[in-house]
């Protein structure tokens, strides 16, 4: 069985890292390269780096910042934001990314995931799925949470995996930045519906929340933003806490 991963999630806006609540009210959280260096030193298992304005503005991810950050870390590095073509995949992988996250384009260009998987391998393809609860259940949102698609989360993740996604990054917009805990219910449903790893994202406010979503929803990894940005918690402390709780985490903290 794969060990559980602890993954800091960094959002990029105008060349700075930011963090908000439910994808709004963004606060500056520092320089992306500096933050990447810190999390690498703290022994994070991976790093997620998302350019949150790229899709909204119709542009590609800022590869120069990606390249600088990638040169500072020695852990797997996932990058997303504005990815619409296999050329975007190629540019980001050349810039130093190990994986590429696709959000809006997974719906707008259905063949992108399969094309990328054939060219670069399924291990490079991450389907980034943002969702809100609506009448009838959780539904997918795109373009930084601004566009409602009406598509069922479960239907969408199944299609993404069938197309070639090797991993799902599942983010609750309702929980994001609230620090009230992950959406365990939806994470459990998605983990049961697909055969690939699911990264739980949105809502971590305590180390116990990380344990809960792994234990109760079979999450393969936990993405963390506000908890690491705005408290004294860190990947080092998270790993120790999860190990004591009986979670099979990865290597010893640095």
For residue range 94-119, what is the model confidence (pLDDT) as tens digits? 999 999 999 999 999 989 999 999 99
Mean pLDDT, the chain, integer: 93
Q: Of 164, 61, 77, 63, whose CA–CA distance to 119 is shortest?
A: 164
Q: How confident is the model at residue 60 (pLDDT cuts 50, 70, 90)?
A: low
Dist CA 179 CA 166 (whole Å): 28
Q: How far is CA 81 from CA 12, 134, 155, in A?
A: 9, 25, 22
Q: Of 167, 149, 242, 251, whose CA–CA distance to 204 is shortest?
A: 242
pLDDT in tens, 125-170: 999 999 999 999 999 999 989 999 999 999 999 999 999 999 999 9
Which pLDDT does position 56 carry in this prediction?
55
Which pLDDT does position 52 carry in this prediction?
81
Q: How far is CA 63 from CA 30, 68, 113, 116, 228, in A?
A: 18, 9, 20, 18, 25
Instruction: Spell 179-193 as b/e; 16+ CB within 10 A means b.
Output: bebbbbebbbbbbee
Mean pLDDT, residues 182-193 taken together: 98
- Site of tokens 């620090």: 179
Mean pLDDT, residues 54-69 taken together: 71
pTM of the model: 0.94
């Amino acid at each position: 069985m794969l060990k559980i991963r602890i993954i800091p999630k960094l959002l990029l806006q105008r060349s700075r890292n930011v963090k908000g609540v439910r994808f709004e009210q963004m606060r500056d959280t520092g320089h992306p390269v500096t933050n990447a260096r810190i999390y690498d030193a703290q022994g994070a298992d991976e790093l997620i780096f998302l350019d949150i304005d790229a899709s909204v503005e119709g542009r590609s991810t800022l590869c120069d910042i990606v390249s600088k950050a990638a040169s500072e870390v020695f852990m797997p590095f996932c990058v997303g934001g504005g990815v619409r073509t296999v050329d975007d995949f190629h540019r980001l992988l050349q810039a130093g990314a190990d994986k590429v996250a696709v959000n809006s384009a997974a719906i707008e260009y259905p063949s992108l995931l399969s094309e990328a998987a054939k060219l670069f391998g399924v291990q490079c393809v991450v389907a980034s799925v943002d969702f809100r609860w609506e009448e009838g259940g959780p539904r997918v949102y795109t373009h930084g949470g601004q566009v409602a698609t009406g598509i069922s989360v479960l239907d969408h993740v199944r299609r993404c995996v069938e197309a070639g996604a090797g991993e799902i990054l599942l983010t609750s917009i309702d929980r994001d930045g609230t620090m009230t805990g992950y959406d365990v219910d939806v994470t459990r449903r998605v983990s049961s519906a697909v055969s690939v790893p699911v990264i739980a994202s949105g809502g971590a406010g305590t180390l116990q929340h990380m344990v809960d979503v792994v234990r109760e929803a079979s999450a393969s990894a936990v993405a963390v933003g506000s908890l690491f940005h705005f408290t004294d918690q860190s990947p080092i402390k998270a790993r120790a806490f999860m190990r004591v709780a009986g979670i099979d985490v990865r290597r010893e903290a640095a």
